[in-house]
Amino acid sequence: MAVTPGTSPPLLTAGAIPGATGARSAPGYARFAWIVLGFNLLVILWGAFVRASGSGAGCGSHWPLCNGEVVPRAPAVATLIEFGHRTSSGIALLLVVALVIGARRHFPPQHRVRRAAALAALFLVTEALIGAGLVLLELVASNASVARGLWVAGHLVNTFLLIGTLALTAWWAAAPPTRSSPRLSPVPFAVTLSLLIVLGMSGAVTALGDTLFPATSLIEAEAQTFSPTAHVFIRLRLWHPALALASGACVAFTALYVARRVATRPTRRMAAAVAALYLVQIGVGLTNVWLLAPIVIQLVHLLLSDLIWIALVLLTASALAPAPRRA
């Protein structure tokens, strides 16, 4: 086969080498991956609504059946809410399975998209198992045990891992990673991501406390928070804002660090988007406290947390992308 001087043979490009993780994209697959991510975000929000509305015991202590039935007959409102969440979770599982199959069709072995899709499938399975554990152990409805708080915190960590890997699947499938600036230190990104995980865990437990111990006024909420006999979930109302401020400082530093070091415009825009989303989140958090945590504001707060996490994961992947490989 004739090769023009100064060019590489077509079969030796990074995307065509078996096992290579270099340049390769599949726009149609990437669009599907973004859709799968969006649907999973809706499932996550519906799960939060299940908790906030006190419908976690809507199917009793049965799983995967609902009150011992495949399809509940004459269901109550709480049953419909919980059953709807389980149904949407099943659809999400089918979509992620399709995502894994598509990754195997469009990308070679050992490609990063394949790995990200496989990890997303794993985290979706563990997400379902954690949900099943909450139901089977009756850590739902009015249960205010510390064990429930630990399960809820673990659920949040798994959710972050799930949506992070789904976002990376779509991001890497859309375009190959490139880097046009000196390699950045991973430390600021690791610290910021770790703080966001801790912040998310405290936020999940704080939201649980707002559901289990609602206040009718700001004065009553303050009295609950500073009471010497306050439940541990209520005490987190003090720690969560402090963690939010510390995390915000790290987010601002990381965004500024990227903006000053990276020359590519898309990466700098993403850094600005992360900082802007976090500022909005602080405003929503203050509104949530002022209005005594209504369900709608809780859901908006959770959605912004997920979006900030996704944006920071993608910013990290973009800023720390390896240098382009030669054929």
CATH code of the region 178-322: 1.20.120
pLDDT of residue 80: 93
- What percent of the chain shows pLDDT beyond 70? 88
- What percent of the chain shows pLDDT beyond 90? 75
pLDDT of residue 213: 95
Give the burial class of 205: count Cβ atoms within 10 A of its Cβ; 0-12 exposed, 13-18 middle, 19 or more buried: buried
**Inter-residue long-range contacts of 45-49, CB under 8 Å, 24+ positions, other chains counted:** 45/299, 45/302, 45/303, 46/84, 46/85, 46/88, 47/85, 47/89, 47/131, 48/207, 48/298, 48/299, 48/302, 49/81, 49/85, 49/295, 49/299
The torsion defined by the Cα of 321, 156, 61 and 73, in degrees rounded to 10, comes to -70
Q: Average model confidence (pLDDT) for the chain?
A: 88
**Residues 248-266: pLDDT tens digits?**
999 999 999 998 888 788 8
Q: What are phi and psi of 71, to 5 degrees?
A: -125, 115
Contacts of 296 (CB under 8 A, 6+ apart): none
- Please give the average per-residue pLDDT across 316-327, as a whole number: 71
pLDDT of residue 60: 86
Give the burial class of 181: count Cβ atoms within 10 A of its Cβ; 0-12 exposed, 13-18 middle, 19 or more buried: middle
Beta-strand ranges (E) seen in 194-252 are none
- Which of 172, 275, 166, 292 has the alpha carbon at shortest distance from 224? 292
| 289 pLDDT above the threshold of 80 | yes
Q: How confident is the model at residue 25 (pLDDT cuts 50, 70, 90)?
A: confident
pLDDT of residue 65: 85
pLDDT of residue 157: 98
pLDDT of residue 2: 42
| 231 pLDDT above the threshold of 70 | yes
Alpha-carbon distance of 243 to 134, in angstroms, equals: 26
- Which of 271, 269, 275, 258 has the alpha carbon at shortest distance from 181? 258
Angle at 192 between CA 275 and CA 251, to 5 degrees: 20
Read off the amino acid at residue 75. Answer: P
Q: How confident is the model at residue 6 (pLDDT cuts 50, 70, 90)?
A: very low
**Residues 101-121: pLDDT tens digits?**
999 999 999 999 999 999 999
**Residues 181-226: pLDDT tens digits?**
567 899 999 999 999 999 999 999 999 999 999 999 999 999 999 9
Q: Where are the domains of the chain?
A: 24-176, 178-322
pLDDT of residue 19: 35
**Residues 31-67: pLDDT tens digits?**
999 999 999 999 999 999 999 998 988 898 888 889 8
